Chains A and B, each alone.
Chain A
């Protein structure tokens, strides 16, 4: 009798503990796990999103992706923006972070200003830059004219030659402040006495950078690169609020394609299979990055 009440109390106790995580688990099952499984299920069907009948097509959707030139073009274009961001956005962020790390006066003021574009939404940033790039009244063309470079004027976002790079510039403008803040924090984490020890050894500033800063910053570089890749490959808001994927397909990216197939062509199954392929690409990209960083660590 005595044991039974103890057991009952124990059961009640554990049950009560479950109540704490119940709301979170409920949300997770409904809005994360179910959609996750559903994407895989839908990817082997042909379905318009409304009709009660779904046609099983096996792996036909995935096969179709292989020959979908617009899709691969979209992947390549997102990759192009990502490459530019990896190189230029992060180089600028690192340069500015090095400046501020040298104990420059007003460092915090710069930090606050540089992080302003990252807190704005992609929609807002795109709508403002639309106007900077405008062919008739744009600020950029106005500046070019003042500088006597009127022959370079164009409608930057409507010209197939410049549209994609113009979008990459917007994206990098919005993103470099984020890289700056993280890289600066990484630099400030480096113990100062390491630099002092290098000074004693007679190291110049380049040697200090090469042999103290870079090795210690590798984990931060890797993390910034992974997040840059994941964030940039999934670029969407800036495109929607500027070109919408045009002119032609010149600024299409994976997310705009998935949406176009889903909402535009009512091909839910195909859109899901694109989502899976794209998810795998992102996963490989980040695993690859982690491998590289492990390799670099062993080298030292």
Chain B
């Protein structure tokens, strides 16, 4: 009996070790390309292809300064920040107002108008960017920041309204009544009661849209042609097209693009992971 228990334990340890072994190998493949990117950003044009060490003997920190100033990545970075901030603010503002109305207010056509939004989330229209381009041309918004911002705000509305509506519906009714008796207007209830209560849901909306806007490429490619208003993803492709061989600078540019995302991810990973799982398992 004792012997079989011993073997059972041994078996268990063996299994644990092999499982950890596989998990660790996969983890390394996830992280290694990023480590390599950073290490290549610190090498020179000559050593980047010959020096295969992870830690370069003389790290070229000035590559980052060169990428930031000469290669325009400073401008692209500022643009990405601006786009992320304005688009996310717009989405939170517009979708929370609408979600509040759908969840809390009465008006004719409420359900139809809600399902219209939901439909845009469900129906894939891969060619819509062509018509969007035509529309922006007509409105004179091609190659403008506003055009790029507005289209992306619209892109995030459906999911934002959906998430916030389910949250507002759970809001206790008596809180709202009490506020109304105190003479609080609907806008006041939205602003002073609903919004603060919905903070966790708003956090999810903010994080997911921020990640999406930071990574967006297709619309940036179609809409923006001036370097001065391009975001990072577009800037990276422009740089690669013009300086195919300047590897360390390209890697420095990628690092500049990736660092904020990785930082935010590590800080917010709990929200991010619980956000996708909640949406997925329930949805």
Contacts and interface: CB of A to CB of B under 8 A. Distances in A.
Contact of A258 (B27, B126, B265): B126
A136 B266 CA distance: 35
Interface in A118-174: 119-124, 127-129, 131-132, 136-137, 139, 142, 173
Contacts of B280: 182, 185, 220, 223-224
Nearest to B31: A113
Given A32-B120, A35-B135, A237-B217, A104 B20 contact: yes
Interface string A20-45: 11011101101110111011001000
B108 interface: yes
Interface stretch (B59-67, B94-102, B170-178, B198-206): B94-102
Given A116-B30, A116-B265, A102 B120 contact: no
Nearest to B16: A104
Contact of B130 (A121, A132, A272): A272
B183 interface: no
Nearest to A24: B98
Given A27-B153, A39-B130, A272-B130, A110 B27 contact: yes
A25 B36 CA distance: 47
B84 interface: no
A21 B31 contact: no
Interface string A258-291: 1000110000100110111011001100000000
B132 interface: yes
Given A17-B106, A27-B150, A241-B237, A42 B131 contact: yes
B77 interface: no
Contact of A186 (B93, B254, B281): B281
Given A112-B266, A131-B40, A282-B124, A96 B26 contact: yes
B130 A120 contact: no
Given A28-B157, A279-B123, A49 B26 contact: no
Interface residues of A, number: 85
A283 B186 contact: no
A122 B281 contact: no
Contacts of B130: 39, 42, 258, 262, 268, 271-272, 275
Contacts of B95: 24
A117 to B, nearest CB: 6
A119 to B, nearest CB: 5
A145 to B, nearest CB: 11
Nearest to B94: A23
B55 interface: no
Contact of A127 (B131, B190, B240, B272): B240
B23 A110 contact: yes
Contacts of A28: 116-117, 120, 154, 157
Contact of A14 (B106, B125, B257): B106
Given A28-B117, A181-B277, A121 B215 contact: yes
Contacts of A271: 127, 130
A162 B233 CA distance: 26
A236 B219 CA distance: 12
A275 B129 CA distance: 9
Contact of B126 (A142, A178, A237, A254): A254
A84 interface: no
A282 B127 CA distance: 12
B269 A132 contact: no
Interface string B102-146: 100111100001001100100111111011111100000000000
Contact of A121 (B29, B48, B97, B257): B257
Nearest to A15: B107
A42, A92, A120, A182 interface centre (most CB from chain B within 10 Å): A120
A36 B125 contact: yes
B263 to A, nearest CB: 11
A27 B240 contact: no
Contacts of B240: 127, 241
A25 B261 CA distance: 31
Contacts of B237: 123, 240-241
Contacts of A209: none
B82 to A, nearest CB: 17
B259 to A, nearest CB: 11
Interface of B: 16, 19-20, 22-23, 26-27, 29-31, 33-34, 36-37, 40, 48-49, 52, 93-95, 97-98, 100-102, 105-108, 113, 116-117, 120, 123-128, 130-135, 150-151, 153-154, 157, 161, 186, 190, 211, 214-218, 221-222, 233, 236-237, 240, 247, 250, 254, 257-258, 261-262, 265-266, 269, 272-273, 276-277, 280-281, 283
14 contacts: A25-B98, A42-B134, A116-B31, A119-B211, A119-B272, A127-B240, A131-B40, A173-B29, A181-B276, A182-B281, A189-B281, A237-B217, A241-B240, A274-B127
